[in-house]
Amino acid sequence: MAAIADRADSVSLAPIPAALLEHPAFAPYREYLPTLEASSAADCAPSTGVIPRLVAPPVRAAGAMEFERRIVEQNELIVRPNNLHDTVNALVWHAFPKTKRAISEAHVALGAAATANGRPRRRDILTLFDEAGALIISQRSDLRALHEAHEWKRLFVEHRAHFIRDCRVILFGHGTLEQLASNPHRGLTVKALWLRLAAEVSLDEIDELLAQGVDSGTSLAANERRLALPILGVPGWFAESEAPACYGDVDVFRPLRTPLVARRVRAGESR
């Protein structure tokens, strides 16, 4: 387990378990661990930049909107003691600070709604992506079309070399990252957003483009289509998916529902 600062004068971050630290999906975040550790010191100067200062939780538990307002209005990110979920969230902040801030600002701007959970539809979309979203960085519209059609074998077997060369998958959701350490079951599925950029661009460029999209409402919009992605299928992430037969498991790699089937499922008519 990788040690992260846990001192009396600091925010108590959780250690990163080896199962997560060594996983290929964690690769984009490893370089930020030393910076995160330094930012946990309580006696450091208050943050005035994009990345908020880490603070211990208040005595009274903060609700979802209070959590976001604390970021936007006070530039403070609440981190529960020795909580892996919150620690990973703070780490994603270091890799994608502009996007994370744009998401928090959108939550606050949208506010409450007269829905069952008190959130407008776009806040649900933002929350789901923040917890269980992924980015696919690629300029290959043909590979994206295969993904949209749930042509899993064509995408990950027949075009495997093309996908590896021309696509870069980044696990953005801190909830799913945490699950890779605590509950790495083979059915883990995220909602993926394709960004039309060269696969080799820097995280700073990705962060800038996505943040602009969130700010303008063109990315993670209420009606935007994000694609289901079983992370078991991402080349290089799991040994099991090196075998083509892996992609024949329809419980994980589900075929695309036709509009008629989808309507029947919603109406409770499916058998």
Question: What was the pLDDT predicted at 5?
Answer: 43
Backbone angles phi, psi at 175, to 5 degrees: -65, -40
User: Do 191 and 132 meet the contact criterion of CB atoms below 8 Å apart?
Assistant: yes
Q: Which residues contact 109 (CB under 8 A, 6 or more apart)?
A: none
Q: Which residues contact 211 (CB under 8 A, 6 or more apart)?
A: 96, 98, 99, 101, 102
pLDDT in tens, 78-123: 999 999 999 999 999 999 999 999 999 999 998 765 455 567 889 9
Euclidean distance between the first and final Cα of the chain, in Å? 46
Question: What was the pLDDT predicted at 39?
Answer: 80
Identify the band that residue 271 occupies on the pLDDT scale cut at 50, 70 and 90.
very low
Question: What was the pLDDT predicted at 8?
Answer: 36
Identify the band that residue 150 occupies on the pLDDT scale cut at 50, 70 and 90.
very high
Distance, CA of 152 to CA of 158 (rounded, Å): 9
Distance, CA of 41 to CA of 8 (rounded, Å): 9
| Tokens 């506010």 found at | 111
* Domain range summary for the chain, segments of one domain joined by +: 18-125, 132-266
